[in-house]
Structure 1
């Protein structure tokens, strides 16, 4: 029965966009430019999802904003929505937008991306919009590069690249923040038993010293990473992380810091032998309990 339900929900999610009601509300409140930026209709069903069926629809749970990983899109991981829908969530309580443009058919596209102000503003815009649209506190589930991007979106302040002022922290609007396999202190690639700092040199955009993951020359970090790690406890009322000691992409320990931990967090789920993708995929029940009950379960 559950398998059949997930198949149905898989189809639902993979064909999801913002609902007509949410798109109409975005246009009425923020204008067509913001609606277009958040909806990402240019990416088709991969661009976004979420929204009420009608304006007065009542939510029973705090809405979740999902922030995807580097070179992913909002609609590329339909199992997320399926699991949460099967656990009682409605589409009016699940939201995502695509910052950047996904992999674009290039397996190395991730190396070209940075954590620039445009992406941060887009994620922040969705968080604020969902808060106002639903009238409820927002939960955040962020994965991989989406973790530092979401943290900056919540932190606000000046963008490190453009110096635009994003405004005050959104802390009071966030109930629970879950950061999964996030490179909060950079990345340490793993090859067998050896680990190598991936962003010691500023040779590709993702490793640049301003909006990239530059790290590994202890204790130096990029301006972006220093910024998001300079304040403690702003991510929300409840802060959790999920990561693996065997993550081959983000790594584990960089310059004496566990890169996927967040200072001030209230709990964590640590795996010993899961890779980067498995850490996200296999932790869905853990994510759900962190969001709903603020606990860390054993699975």
Structure 2
């Protein structure tokens, strides 16, 4: 199955480059040029965004659209390998969307990053734009790692903890399903010791478990992420999130989850990039194979294929 996905991935890696002209024009006409440029993220190249049809819309896609939120050190276009599982099952870029938040965040400088309000605003504008572009009543959201918590704040709205900007009311009614894939939902255990030194761990808009940002997205009423399914996928061997923070909370869980999938033996890279088939099946409410078997298969694939193999580096 992985070989099939990998071969298909090689065919589509150059098929999509930023959002379509039709979708861009829709944003331009309904939200303005500044927001259209922020969503498109052409400044970071062809991987800055994806999604949309040729029509200015609104359009009725064959499937309910999905908005993806990538992880911290990546771009929207790095999700292509995950997308193969959707494209191979009838989805098109009319129905799959993402924008890039952040600029030049890498494994070398990620500790200097923060959960900035402008990251949240970019994701929220994408959600608003897709919701207005489709004739479906709702959209789905799938967030990965750092992006999963940002997506929750984008849905929640309210004031940003760092800039105090008011994002507006919750978008709950526009979101059908929300899926968090090893999401940084309660902070990082390593931030307990680094909060005084690393900006990414700061106590305002950082990943310290008791930061203002984490309290904001977790202290509100539960269930604001979506109207139907609120899903969390976690790994007990996640080397980035770690099982428990000093706040005695599971870093990947949050109030309101009504479906939880716990895997074992997978580090953060494996769980982020090699669960595409499982994520697709969950998104479609299709049956899963035994979770232990999934963990074994994913661990093997993660050890076999490099970041270059799956298009994360070139």
Q: TM-score when scaled to structure 2? A: 0.85
Contact 2:9 2:80 in 1 (8 A): no
Match of 1:60 in 2: 62
User: Runs of 5+ in structure 1 lacking a partner?
Assistant: 190-196, 216-220
Deviation at 1:277, TM superposition (A): 1.2
Contact 2:52 2:93 in 1 (8 A): yes
Q: 1:77-110 CA distances to partner (integer Å, 9 max, x unpaired)? A: 311222211111110100000011143xx43221
Match of 1:6 in 2: 9
- Which of 213, 223, 238 lines up with 1:233 in the alignment? 223
Contact 1:38 1:122 in 2 (8 A): yes
Contact 2:61 2:135 in 1 (8 A): no
* Mapped pair 1:96 → 2:98: yes
Match of 1:224 in 2: 213
Q: 1:3-24 CA distances to partner (integer Å, 9 max, x unpaired)? A: 54332123324xx211010111
* Mapped pair 1:116 → 2:105: no
Contact 2:145 2:183 in 1 (8 A): yes
User: Over aligned residue pairs, what C-alpha RMSD do you find?
Assistant: 1.8
C-alpha change, 1:181 and 1:7, in structure 2 (3 Å) is same
Match of 1:24 in 2: 25
Which structure features the higher share of strand residues? 1
Deviation at 1:297, TM superposition (A): 5.2
Distance in 1, Cα, partners of 2:287 & 2:223: 18
- Which of 194, 202, 205 lines up with 1:211 in the alignment? 205
- Which of 208, 212, 233 lines up with 1:242 in the alignment? 233
Deviation at 1:268, TM superposition (A): 1.5
User: Runs of 5+ in structure 2 lacking a partner?
Assistant: 295-314
Match of 1:70 in 2: 72
Contact 2:112 2:198 in 1 (8 A): yes
Contact 2:152 2:225 in 1 (8 A): yes
Distance in 2, Cα, partners of 1:160 & 1:84: 35
Distance in 2, Cα, partners of 1:118 & 1:247: 28
> Comparing 228-237 with 286-295, which one deviates more in the overlay?
286-295
Distance in 1, Cα, partners of 2:193 & 2:183: 15
Q: TM-score when scaled to structure 1? A: 0.89
C-alpha change, 1:297 and 1:147, in structure 2 (3 Å) is farther
Match of 2:253 in 1: 261
Q: 1:23-47 CA distances to partner (integer Å, 9 max, x unpaired)? A: 1111111111111111011111110
How many residue pairs get matched?
283
C-alpha change, 1:295 and 1:260, in structure 2 (3 Å) is farther
